[in-house]
Amino acid sequence: MSRMKWVVLGVVALLLAGVLGLLLLPRLLVAMPGSYLVRLQNHELTGPVVEMLITPMPSALPAVTGGGQVVAPAEAPQIPGLEGGAVAQGALQQTPTLEVTSTSAPPTPGITPSLTMTPSPTMTPSPTSTPSPSPTPPPSRVVLEGLRWVSQGFNNCGPANLSIALNYWGDGTTQEMAASYLKPNREDRNVSPWQISDYVNEFTNLRATAYARGNLDMLKRLIAAGFPVVIEKGYIPGRGTEGWYGHYLTIYGYNDERQEIYSRDTFLGPFDGSPRADSYEEFMEWWRHFYYTFYVVFPPEREHEVMAIIPPVLQDTWTMWEYAAEQARLELEERPDDVFSLFNLGVALTRLGEYASAETVENYSPEVNAAYYEEAAALFDQARNTNQLPPRTLYYEHRPLMAYYKVGRHNDVLELTGAMLDTIGGRWVEEIHWYRGHALAATGDLLGAQQAYQQALVVNPNFYYAEWSLNDVNSRLGG
């Protein structure tokens, strides 16, 4: 064979290898660890290339397409987890694989209040369930001392902020230690505030409690009393091309004169010990995306101080979600098509459906319980139909799947979980697989449900609801 033919064959081989590489590159990108992919997406040189090669995150959850056949709840198999009462707030194993205890006595936190005492703004109260304000307003400026800064690992803002709160009180837990239990799979995309609170109460010598529907005045009073507060919020990171995410912040100061809130941001920094500063207005808008959820860590002997600040309406689960629903309705009166107000009201009503019972609802009946889910499902429909509901809302809050399942709209559950599994991050949310398993079981596909529950446990082996569900389906299949 002549030299020219060898050259031609070599060029053809290189071209074929290049084409094959381009065809395989998207799969390789999707298969790589999330931390590396995110770095490539956010880099100014590689970001545009990655965006061309992989399917982008949709701008919104799919709109309602009709919902498909409704299966009466009585016809669906009673799978453990969602049936027979409310789902517990967290998802911790009864037997821990890791125990963390306090390493020293809690320090006395430093407080630097200003001398000027001015009232702080509060949220518009509900006419029926208003948290009672304390008679004395908090100081106009407080900045707590002694909070270390932490740079989070990949998708680790939950454990990282928890470590800040625990370390403040002398507990030596690191973000890696907390993550080893809360999200043993590094790719797991979410840890809820209630899971975190349960972790503190089960595995440390400190205590924690989580609530929805906090407000700025409440944050100030907790900080002024020496308690940092961890909140969950929405944000858009990096180059902005990835879209909306959820994020945790540790709040440890405020300044009424400057209208600023001060926090430790484990992702955006700054990491030189100085605080992140956000205006009250901007902070409240992003916090609203998670219906003003927060948790507080404290020594057990100081519980009475925390409870003196948390209004009684929030200390009872039922009245807390009633209050959250009332406040969301007030927001909708001002902004009828606001996607997060619609979503937040749907979440509150779904929670009420979970906790509704003869003890909580006068003249309770199954129809009363069903009405909560029906209204919630309709609100989630409205939110989806705005074409503005970020897909990643289902990474962090799964109540739309709960509401649709409870009213028998299992095709909606399958459609939404399918849309999430088509995203790179959605397949790493254990609840997505778990709810999908319930919908598959309800439509008669027990083998599909079995696989979904197994995948939920791959994502998080400590998610014991999925273990209950899997054991039940295995018994139905005779395995």
CATH number, domain at 391?
1.25.40.10
What are 82-94's pLDDT values in tens digits? 654 444 444 443 3
User: What is the number of H-type helices and E-type strands within the chain?
Assistant: 19, 8
pLDDT given at position 71: 63
- C-alpha angle with apex 224: 222 to 226, nearest 5 degrees? 75
pLDDT given at position 103: 34
52, 54, 57, 62: CA torsion to nearest 10: 110
Name the pLDDT band for 51 (thresholds 50, 70, 90). low
pLDDT given at position 304: 96
Better pLDDT: 92 or 450: 450
* pLDDT of residue 118 exceeding 50: no
Long-range contacts of 243-247 (CB under 8 A, 24+ apart): 243/57, 243/59, 243/390, 243/391, 243/392, 244/289, 244/390, 244/392, 244/393, 245/392, 246/190, 246/289, 246/290, 246/392, 246/395, 246/396, 247/157
Question: What number is the average pLDDT over the span 435-450?
Answer: 94
Last residue of a domain, one of 311, 332, 363: 311
pLDDT given at position 185: 81
Last residue of a domain, one of 311, 329, 348: 311
What are 337-380's pLDDT values in tens digits? 899 999 999 999 999 999 988 888 888 888 888 999 999 999 99
Q: What's the alpha-carbon Rg for the chain, to the nearest Å?
A: 24
**Does residue 362 form part of some domain?**
yes
CA–chain centroid gap for 469, Å, is: 22
Better pLDDT: 155 or 4: 155
**Does residue 192 form part of some domain?**
yes
Domain match, 251 and 330 both: no
Which element (helix H / strand E) includes 211? strand 207-211
What are 232-253's pLDDT values in tens digits? 999 887 655 678 989 999 999 9
Range among 15-19, 68-72, 251-255 with highest mean pLDDT value: 251-255
Q: Which residues of 92-106 are buried (b: 16+ CB within 10 A; e: fewer)?
A: beeeeeeebebeeeb
CA–chain centroid gap for 135, Å, is: 34
**Does residue 231 form part of some domain?**
yes
Domain match, 352 and 417 both: yes
Domain match, 48 and 190 both: no
pTM above 0.75, yes or no: yes
User: How far apart (Å, rounded) are the C-alpha atoms in residues 436 and 414?
Assistant: 6
Domain, as residue range, for 53: 29-58
* pLDDT of residue 67 exceeding 90: no
pLDDT given at position 52: 47
Domain match, 352 and 298 both: no
* pLDDT of residue 119 exceeding 60: no
* pLDDT of residue 260 exceeding 90: yes
- C-alpha angle with apex 212: 207 to 213, nearest 5 degrees? 130
Contact 173, 162 (CB under 8 A): yes
What rounded mean pLDDT belongs to the chain? 81
Last residue of a domain, one of 248, 277, 311: 311
Residue 210, SS3? strand
Residue 249, SS3? strand
**Does residue 7 form part of some domain?**
no
Q: What's the structural domain count of the chain? A: 3
pLDDT given at position 96: 30
* pLDDT of residue 114 exceeding 60: no
**Does residue 410 form part of some domain?**
yes
CATH number, domain at 126?
3.90.70.10
Instruction: Give percent of the chain above pLDDT 90.
Output: 56
